[in-house]
Amino acid sequence: MPLTKTNGTITPSPHLPFGDQQTAPWYGKDILSVSQFSRSDLTYIFEVAHEMREMVARIGAFDLLKGKILANLFYEPSTRTSSSFTAAMERLGGSVIPINEVRYSSVSKGESLPDTVRTLECYADVIVLRHPEVGASALAAKYARKPIINAGDGIGEHPTQALLDLFTIFEELGTVDGLTVTMLGDLKYGRTVHSLARLLSLYDVKINYVAPPIVAMPREIIAEIDRKGIPQAEFTTLDRPLPETDVLYVTRIQKERFSDPDEYESVKGSYVITPATLQAAKQDMIVMHPLPRVGEISMDVDDDPRAAYFRQMEYGLFVRMALLAMVLGKA
């Protein structure tokens, strides 16, 4: 038995999965925040995602990540995001370790996130992490040798959602420059619209915000976008900005955000999209929504070709395929 003393890690280099193209530009990197992306980064990600789209349309799946393993570590449930990453890995020929039971597991026995991540990277090549606490992904990435992809950490970041939102606009409308994007609904608590606004500020866009004052876009984000020279405008109803809108991004207004239930009842109807709403909209605009929806877009809108929210889910698959391939050195 040729056992030799090694006394060292088997894959000691930081972020060095087995047998990959270490020259690939995103090889071994973490995906933690939208703030890490330059405009040219986004161009590259979307090129790869577009290739993924074409490959899926043509052959469904392929073996680019065959033999690779994704640890899908969800400290809080998210069927949609979890399923999307699972499908992305499987369509690339890779495998998944699903870890959805964290609340019952050793983690809840008091194990720290760094220890959990360092254990899982012994088994997997990349870790997707969903966690209720802000900064969890950065903490995990600090300790992990393998790439961490942030799938949402509390009210913090959810970068792959923002990327898929932007990719949807690119694929649907062919460009981002020159567009008017109108965000509607709860703009205060939704990390989705915050991240998207930040990514959009890398382009030549105009952004409209439509919300009840109680859930308006936070001042600091408006200030941040303003420093990039992006024109922004605020409204409490959709009628004025709608005709110029190229992308209408709808989010849900949660009743619990209002201290006065009557106030909620008085405004909620103004933020529901129906076929009547869309009569005043451009013929080639698109309606987006991060889903799940609970009434803020009428099901009667679903058959309108401008309703892009289910296609948006499909674009999410392609973006996550691209990111997995990139950080594993295969794109």
Residue position matching structure tokens 């933690």: 32
SS3 136: helix
269/292 with CB nearer its own copies: 292
Is 118 buried (19+), middle (13-18) or exposed (0-12) by CB count in 10 A? middle
Smallest separation, CB 95 to its own copies (Å): 4
Which of these segments, 172-180, 187-195, 234-242, 272-280, binds its own copies (CB under 8 A)?
A: 172-180
Which of these segments, 128-136, 183-191, 227-235, 298-306, binds its own copies (CB under 8 A)?
A: 298-306
Q: Which of 52, 196, 211, 286 forms a contact with its own copies (CB under 8 A)?
A: 286
Instruction: State how far the Cα of 112 lies from the Cα of 109, in Å rounded to an integer.
Output: 9
Instruction: State how far the Cα of 270 lies from the Cα of 103, in Å rounded to an integer.
Output: 39
Decide: is 323 part of the binding site for its own copies (CB under 8 A): no
Which of these segments, 25-33, 120-128, 155-163, 227-235, binds its own copies (CB under 8 A)?
A: 120-128
Instruction: State how far the Cα of 132 lies from the Cα of 157, in Å rounded to an integer.
Output: 11
Decide: is 99 part of the binding site for its own copies (CB under 8 A): yes
Give which of 177, 209, 178, 180 is closest to 193, Cα–Cα: 209
CA atoms lying within 13 Å on the CB side of residue 160:
31
Decide: is 97 part of the binding site for its own copies (CB under 8 A): yes
Smallest separation, CB 62 to its own copies (Å): 7
- End-to-end Cα spacing for the chain: 39
Which of these segments, 16-24, 30-38, 149-157, 187-195, binds its own copies (CB under 8 A)?
A: 16-24
The footprint of its own copies on this chain (CB under 8 A) covers a number of residues equal to: 89
Which of these segments, 49-57, 205-213, 229-237, 238-246, binds its own copies (CB under 8 A)?
A: 49-57
Decide: is 90 part of the binding site for its own copies (CB under 8 A): yes
Give which of 30, 36, 25 is closest to 202, Cα–Cα: 36
167/258 with CB nearer its own copies: 167
CA 283 to chain centre: 27
Which residues partner with 99 through β-bridges?
73
Decide: is 298 part of the binding site for its own copies (CB under 8 A): no
**Cis, bond preceding 14 (omega within 30 deg of 0):** no
33/168 with CB nearer its own copies: 168
Instruction: State how far the Cα of 19 lies from the Cα of 26, in Å rounded to an integer.
Output: 15
Decide: is 244 part of the binding site for its own copies (CB under 8 A): no
Amino acid identity of 190?
G
Decide: is 261 part of the binding site for its own copies (CB under 8 A): no
Decide: is 316 part of the binding site for its own copies (CB under 8 A): yes
Decide: is 179 part of the binding site for its own copies (CB under 8 A): no
